[in-house]
Structure formats: C-alpha cells, structure tokens
Amino acid sequence: MVFNTSIRYADDELRIDEVDIESIVREVGTPAYIYSLPRIRENFQRLRSAFAPLNARLHFSVKANGNLDVLRALSDAGAGFDCVSGGEIYRALRAGAAAEAIVFAGVGKTRAELAYAITNGVGWINAENIGELDHIDDIAAERGAKPVLVALRLNPEVTAGAHPYMATGHGAAKFGLTAEVVRDVLSNGARYPNIDFAGLHMHIGSQLSEASATLSALEKLLALAIDYPQIRAINVGGGLPVAYRFGEKVAPPDRLASELARRLDGYDVLLEPGRAIVADAGLLVAKVLYLKRQAGHNFAIVDASMAEMIRPALYGAHHEIAPLRRTEGETVSTQVVGPVCESADVLGRDRQLPPLEPGDKVALLTAGAYGMTMASNYNARRRPAEVIVDGDRWWVSRRRETFEDLLKFER
C-alpha cells in the first residue's frame, strides 16, 4: 500500500523514503516525529509548477512546521517564508532565509517584533491594525530605513475553512481590516511617509476545499485594488487543502492557479501555503503501552498524546493511523488514546486496526503540519524527537527533551 511517493508499505513494513521506520524508532524511541525531505521538496515543486503561470512567490507558513532542517530545505529549494512572530523570523533567518524573502504577518505584532523585523529588513509586513502602522512608520523613521513595504490585510467577510477555528475571513473574525479602513489608509498614505503601501493581503482560512470562497474574497480585494494604482502586489494567503483520509481527493492546485492567473494579471502574486507542503511528508510514531476493554470499547493506550499532537482534540481533526508492521486478517475497532489526563486525549476513534499488542508501534499519518509546532509540555511531558529522512539517510534533527529541559527556565 502506498500513501504517497515517500510513505508506503514494503514487505509489510511501513517505510519513509528508503528507510524502515521501525529501525529509526528502535534508536530514537517513541513518540517521534519523522519527516521526509524528498516529499517536502516534491510538494513544494508541485505548487511551484502549478503557480508558475502567475510567477507567484511561495512563502512557506512557518507555523505549520518550524523545524530548522525543513526550513533549510525549503529555503534551498527557493521558498520564502510567512512568519507570525519574532521567533518565527528568527528561526527562518537561522535556517538561512534571506530577510527579503520573509513576510511578517499577525494580528498582534509587538513594537519590539516590528523593530526586529524592520531592522533585519524583512520583505513585507502584512498589517492588520492601524496602530501597527504608527509603529512601523516610527521605527522606519528612527532607523532611517527605506520605506517599509506593507500589504494591508483585508477582511473580505467571506466564511470558509474546514472548522470554525480555521475560518479567518468572516466579518466577525479578529483578522484583517474592513474594506472601509483599507480605503481610508490607502487614500491617506501620506500620513505614513515611511511606508510604501504597495500590497494587499488576504487569508480566509485553512483546508479550503473549493476555490469559490477564495475567488469571491479575491473579487472584493480586487474591487478595492483597482482604485489604488500604488497596489502592485497581491498576497492570496494560504489554505490549500490536503487529504487527511484514505481515499479522500482534494482539488489539485492547478484549477485555483488558473483562476487566479486570469484575475491577477499585472500584479506580483504571493502565496502562503503551510500544510500543503509539509503535512503528508510527516508522521508521528507512537508505541502501544496498554490495552483495555471497557464500556464495550477496545482501547489502545499509546505513548503519544494531545500534548504532542493536539489537532484531533482541538479541531476534531482526523489523522489516519497505520501500524508499522502490517498484518493480514481481522481488524478490530479500536480507540487510540494517549496518556494525558483529559477526555479529549483521543488520537483516533473507532479505527479498524489489526489486533494490537503492547509494544506494537503505530504511525499517525499526515502529521507534518501543525504537529510539533503546536506541541506542548502539558502534564510535564517532554516534547518528542524530530527525525529527518532524506532518501536513504536519516538523522535526529531535534532531540527528545529531557527532564532537565523541563526545569531549564525556572530558578
């Protein structure tokens, strides 16, 4: 069975690229995140080709996966980065990104973060508050920096996204600026002599299954852009969907790309995809600790939890679960749960899995996006190791945290 070009069963063992996953976790232990660089590069190239007719610049959304080796590989492949904090800018720069290839976004950037971004020379700031414009203008004046490129983020009042927590474009959301405010700022740009208002930005949500919501938001954005010739660049945000379920089909990016191309002629186009580049290149391996039969259910208690992967608990998200060793025969409906003291700590409900035994290992698939970046130390759990696979080579990119790490910041 083949999940994608990098993750498949061979001789009934789950492999990632040329490497047997069991052989990695035998050394590294569980839980562990494992990412395939070839798959990440392939996903990036697929998007790059799809959006080539627009000559679009792809800014990988660092919030999806901030691993330095992942960022380095993407930077080497020609990606720019979408960062939402000083910390993400720091990570991107440390991974070798050129500052001009960074867009700095976020609904609540501090003045210190803005100063850090401007001093380092980030390419764009996506602004979504009037107050931050004052900061940007002041900081640029203080440093004698050249005018800062700002893309105002429009809230297009379009509802989209796979879950209410992933919808950012509706009018009641905290994100973006109303069309009225955007117009006011663009008409009075002279108030901010150190800002070049050359762009507009939107991001209406994640796991956008249809192009229609994006296109109706874009229509509102373009209706606005047309009145302001200073607008040279349009940032369409992220949200390209991935398949989380076996057999699920998601629209390839080509259709959206050609729809965008028809509308965005003459503009510089930027995109901020996150999950579409990394999600299916990563998995989280866990070991079965115990089995128990209770209240008519078969529970498999594994050593990964909502602390390492919060998406099922937070969004009711579905991640397929695959045993590292595949066996023929009967499957049983299994509740795959973690050790954390929360009823929401369920990684998979009612999964048809071969009968598991303590010590067996399973992989939570499509875990390369918003897995480790959203991991916490809840229950004083140590965040897991991150392993990189590149063809037949693999290495520990970030070691598992230790007990000492847990105390590091306390006196």
- CA distances to 147, 194, 198, 313 from 142, rounded to whole Å, are 12, 10, 21, 46
Rounded CA separation 13/259 (Å) = 42
Q: Which residue is nearest to ligand LLP (CB)?
A: 274
CB nearer to ligand LLP: pick between 305 and 334: 305
- Torsion angle of the four alpha carbons 300, 305, 311, 316, in this order, in degrees rounded to the nearest 10: 40
Smallest distance, Å, CB 265 to ligand LLP? 23
Q: Which of 2, 190, 341, 380 is catalytic?
A: 341
Rounded CA separation 387/113 (Å) = 30
Rounded CA separation 291/307 (Å) = 20
Element housing 153 (H / E): strand 148-153
CB nearer to ligand LLP: pick between 126 and 194: 126
CB nearer to ligand LLP: pick between 72 and 203: 203
Rounded CA separation 323/119 (Å) = 49
One of 238, 348, 368, 384 touching ligand LLP (CB under 6 A): 238
CB nearer to ligand LLP: pick between 370 and 394: 370
Overall size of the chain counted in residues: 411
Q: What is the Cα Rg of the chain in Å? A: 22
One of 68, 77, 145, 166 touching ligand LLP (CB under 6 A): 166
Smallest distance, Å, CB 156 to ligand LLP? 13
Label residue 48 exposed, middle or buried (CB < 10 Å: 0-12, 13-18, 19+): middle
CB nearer to ligand LLP: pick between 107 and 406: 107
Smallest distance, Å, CB 146 to ligand LLP? 25
Beta-bridge mates of residue 270 = 57, 235
- What is the number of other CB atoms lying within 10 angstroms of the CB of residue 6? 24
Count residues contacting ligand LLP (CB under 6 A)? Answer: 20
Q: Is 83 among the catalytic positions?
A: no
Give the binding range for ligand LLP (CB under 6 A) out of 108-116, 211-219, 270-278, 392-400: 270-278
CB nearer to ligand LLP: pick between 273 and 323: 273
Beta-bridge mates of residue 10 = 13
Give the binding range for ligand LLP (CB under 6 A) out of 109-117, 244-252, 266-274, 350-358: 266-274
Footprint (CB under 6 A) of ligand LLP, residues 204-223: 206
Rounded CA separation 89/106 (Å) = 12
Give the binding range for ligand LLP (CB under 6 A) out of 89-97, 141-149, 178-186, 234-242: 234-242
In sequence order, the 6+-apart residues with CB closer than 8 A to the CB of 248 are none
Residue labelled with tokens 């949500």: 205
Footprint (CB under 6 A) of ligand LLP, residues 285-344: 311
- Confirm or reject binding of residue 240 to ligand LLP (CB under 6 A): yes
Give the binding range for ligand LLP (CB under 6 A) out of 4-12, 218-226, 273-281, 341-349: 273-281
One of 275, 287, 361, 381 touching ligand LLP (CB under 6 A): 275
Footprint (CB under 6 A) of ligand LLP, residues 80-119: 82, 105
- Confirm or reject binding of residue 64 to ligand LLP (CB under 6 A): yes
Give the binding range for ligand LLP (CB under 6 A) out of 38-46, 48-56, 272-280, 378-386: 272-280
Rounded CA separation 326/22 (Å) = 12
One of 80, 123, 199, 237 touching ligand LLP (CB under 6 A): 237
Smallest distance, Å, CB 307 to ligand LLP? 15
Smallest distance, Å, CB 273 to ligand LLP? 4
Kindly report the three-state secondary structure assignment for every residue of 342-388: CCCCEEEEEEEECCCCCCCEEEECCCCCCCHHHCCCHHHCCCCEEEE
CB nearer to ligand LLP: pick between 18 and 259: 259
DSSP codes joined into one string, 35-90: EEHHHHHHHHHHHHHHTGGGTPEEEEETTT---HHHHHHHHHTT-EEEE-SHHHHH
Give the footprint of ligand LLP on this chain (CB under 6 A).
Answer: 61, 64, 82, 105, 166, 168, 203, 206, 237-240, 272-276, 311, 369-370
Residues recognised as catalytic: 341
